[in-house]
Structure 1
């Protein structure tokens, strides 16, 4: 039995029903493909059971929306409602020429795409237009959308070939305060948004929406301040005022006149090096200094005969003070371990303090990490002319702490012997306990570092919180938020 033909009616216009068009519309709203196909089949089955062969487009949309509401979230339903309905033709330019996928595929094949690749791009372009609720688009905007999708899928070279074909450039450029211009980068903006705590998916989505909003101004070159203002407005609307403030504070942290000094202390194996590098990258601070490097430089100037403590590992410094007869039988008692540890801390203190002061003098922000950065001991105290933010990293669980050493051995090509750390694990835990006590005593934030990603986010949050507190104090907006001296 031949199935009856279904016709979709929109005013005086009539379109042949296509299940494929319905599936594509559902996919554009974020419905998974399998669910979209199942829903389209159910809707088509219902329509074919009706006596009439013609269905009004608004009735079809109501039926699809009602069916969607039973299967997906309200957010997906709302996206489906906002987009241009299936079957409604998309028109290009003032003359209203229909946008045909066949013609778009043909133009994409001219830049080297095979038919399948060109068809995927054409479908993505059409779905993007419908997702924005448009049924008409000018030619430049259509070409710009194609260019962006080509760059995202196949790289910049393919985009440039397409722009040569269309004799247009659709690259948005951003003007820096000094006059230099740089291409707008969704990737860099998304990275900045992830740094303030947004998910990767939301960050990339917002970066794309910012670009679309900037293109809508019809300006080929946009001032950097306008980009930031656009980001802040969108953040406030989509994520809340706190995230907008964090974004602006992050930008200020990267270009502030008053240098920022972030100090990471913590026992060996707490993950200081990796965390310091990542936090420095997110804050836009390229200068990351390890106290191990400073200690090694001092060792080249001061021999082991003159300073055996300086040439010992931090957790073995206590043994440098023992007599030869005591070396075999001595046990790592707490006071003995801490005395050796603090002796090395005091030997490095002048050099570490000088490095920080030199960077402050040059108005250069810096991230420093090392076990010798003890709360209450310079340079962890306030430095005139800079914002100093000390942080102590800890690994509370002993098993997790031991795993850190195994991971570090693999990352450093066994340059740091895991067994040596394991042999002196008792001393390392004594040092960690002491650092946590000093952090509690001096009001320094302690961040649990077992989970690297969470630790990075907590460090960034703490730095931005402190900068916002400082700004509020200077603005006279009331007392600063009380610091949390310990905890995750």
Structure 2
């Protein structure tokens, strides 16, 4: 009986087929409950109650076993028939004292019952718990994307979010860009070596204007980009209107983001193959490209992070300067604050268009 396991450290959840199982500790169950949305304090108390019930009153466990409709109930860890050595036997004996086996249906019922005591009564509560368990057991994965411009708090939030959800892999798109820079010289690709907020300075305004004019011409004529008609090679010169500084800042940002997104796409593919959950943050997560990634990777959940108050946004850049100043001559972020705010406006408009959740 479970009551004999005086020192319960592990609950081994066994699938119905018996082909696979997963070992939960209290801290791991605590993390799983937070992943499904429980408050940290409630997750701690619920995980403690689950272990107390499994370890505690045999009568209560008999009732729960009856609810499992004749299926296997809680079982003790069985010693192997032949131990390889006295040391191995002592280890197996320790596991017998600290481990119980429980069917998955009974485990889910027990946890949902504890959740109900703390008013977690969502209609799909059991489904949420099942999904959280699958993610924690690395049978499924989730990729959280935190989009936003420079200085809005993405890095801080990604670290806190990873800690809260129990996700150990947190990646910045800046690190991907830094890795790409090691393969190309600055003179060969100045766009890659520029910061996103002044990447537009590396582009030719005339070429950008003509490219935008060609895209508009295609749109008006109803010709898609892969239809086979080439406006560039047609011999007809398409002249566009002069582009302002704000639009050039956006075009430079989009051009650099496109370069980084290709590498990120391959990384997400590898993470999904390994069933590894990850939090990705970075300014290069342009919503247009994120929508393309979501079509290929169902594990992606995007969020848009922004700061509405320009004054507060500017003040955040003081700590990034060498001399803790807001002087534009000594703080490059303040110098390019107009470009940064322009990029944020662009991202917010894209988020509204694609119904991506936004957070201040």
TM-score tier by shorter-chain length is 0.5 to 0.7
SS in 2 for 1:377: helix
**Taking structure 1 as reference, are residues 253 and 188 closer, same or farther at Cα in structure 2, changes over 3 Å only?**
closer
Structure with higher Rg: it is 1
Q: Residue 101 of structure 2 aligns with which residue?
A: 223
- Equivalent pair of 2:13/2:107 in contact (CA under 8 Å): no
- The one-character-per-residue Cα deviations of 1:261-300 (angstroms, maximum 9, x if unpaired) are 2222110112222322333344443332211111111111
CA distance in 2, matches of 1:408, 1:251: 40
Alignment of 1:88-487 (within 5 A): 170-175=7-12, 177=14, 184-185=25-26, 187-216=27-56, 221-223=99-101, 225=104, 226-242=106-122, 244-245=125-126, 246-255=128-137, 257-321=139-203, 333-378=245-290, 380-384=292-296, 386-406=298-318, 419-448=331-360
TM-superposed CA distance for 1:332, in Å, is 8.0
SS in 2 for 1:170: coil
Deviation of 1:311 (Å)? 0.3
Superposition deviation, residue 367 in structure 1: 2.5
RMSD of the TM alignment (CA)?
A: 3.5
- The CA distance in 2 between the partners of 1:372 and 1:172, in whole Å, is 44
CA contact (8 A) 1:174 1:181 kept: yes
Aligned to 1:159: none
Aligned-residue offset at 1:385: 5.8
Q: CA deviation at 1:315?
A: 0.6
| Kept after mapping to 2: 8 A contact 1:352/1:379 | no
Task: Tell me the number of residue pairs that the alignment of Structure 1 and Structure 2 aligns.
Answer: 269
Give unpaired runs (5+ residues) of structure 2.
15-19, 59-75, 77-97, 206-242, 323-328
Q: Which moved more, 1:288-297 or 1:245-254?
A: 245-254
Question: 1:266 touches 1:435 (CA, 8 Å); kept in 2?
Answer: yes
More contact order relative to length (CA 8 Å, sep ≥ 6):
2
Structure 1 Cα separation of the partners of residues 151 and 54 of structure 2? 46
Residue ranges of structure 1 left out of the alignment (5+ in a row) = 1-140, 145-167, 324-330, 411-416, 449-488
Separation of aligned partners in 2, 1:287 and 1:191: 15
8 Å Cα contact 2:145/2:301 also seen in 1: yes
Structure 1 residues 385 and 439, CA gap change in structure 2 (3 angstroms)? closer
Describe the superposition over 1:311-358 as per-residue Cα deviations: whole angstroms up to 9, x where unpaired. Answer: 0111111222379xxxxxxx9821121111112112223222222223
Once the two structures are superposed, what CA deviation does each residue of 1:367-405 show, in whole Å capped at 9, x if it has no partner? 322111111215753244632222211111223323443
CA distance in 1 between counterparts of 2:100 and 2:125 reads 20
